[in-house]
């Protein structure tokens, strides 16, 4: 079974979603990036794929990856 990982990362223009080293266009709002990514992930899961979604949060100099469901 294929495994797909989506990462939501901050960018200069807002938030971007990356998957398999491909970065999509920026979202101005984090909520929109999360909503669209979770929507796609759920459709893939219904099709039998294993999908992970995580968001990169910056806490000063620290990077924290938080999984989303």
Domain range annotation of the chain: 3-68
Residue 7 and residue 19 in contact, taking contact as beta carbons nearer than 8 Å: yes
**pLDDT digit string, tens, across residues 12-59:** 999 999 999 999 999 999 999 999 999 999 999 999 999 999 999 988
Please tell me the predicted confidence (pLDDT) of residue 17. 98
Give residue 29's pLDDT. 97
What pTM was estimated for this model as a whole? 0.89
- Taking the C-alpha atoms of residue 36 and residue 40, their distance in angstroms, rounded to an integer, is 6
pLDDT value, residue 46: 96
What local confidence, expressed as pLDDT, does residue 23 receive?
96
């Amino acid at each position: 079974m294929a495994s797909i990982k989506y990462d939501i990362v901050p960018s200069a223009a807002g938030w971007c979603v990356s998957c398999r080293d491909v970065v999509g266009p920026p979202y101005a709002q984090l909520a929109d990036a999360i909503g669209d990514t979770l929507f796609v992930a759920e459709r893939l899961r219904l099709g039998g794929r294993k999908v992970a979604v995580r968001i990169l949060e910056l806490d000063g100099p620290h990077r924290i990856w938080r999984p989303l469901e």
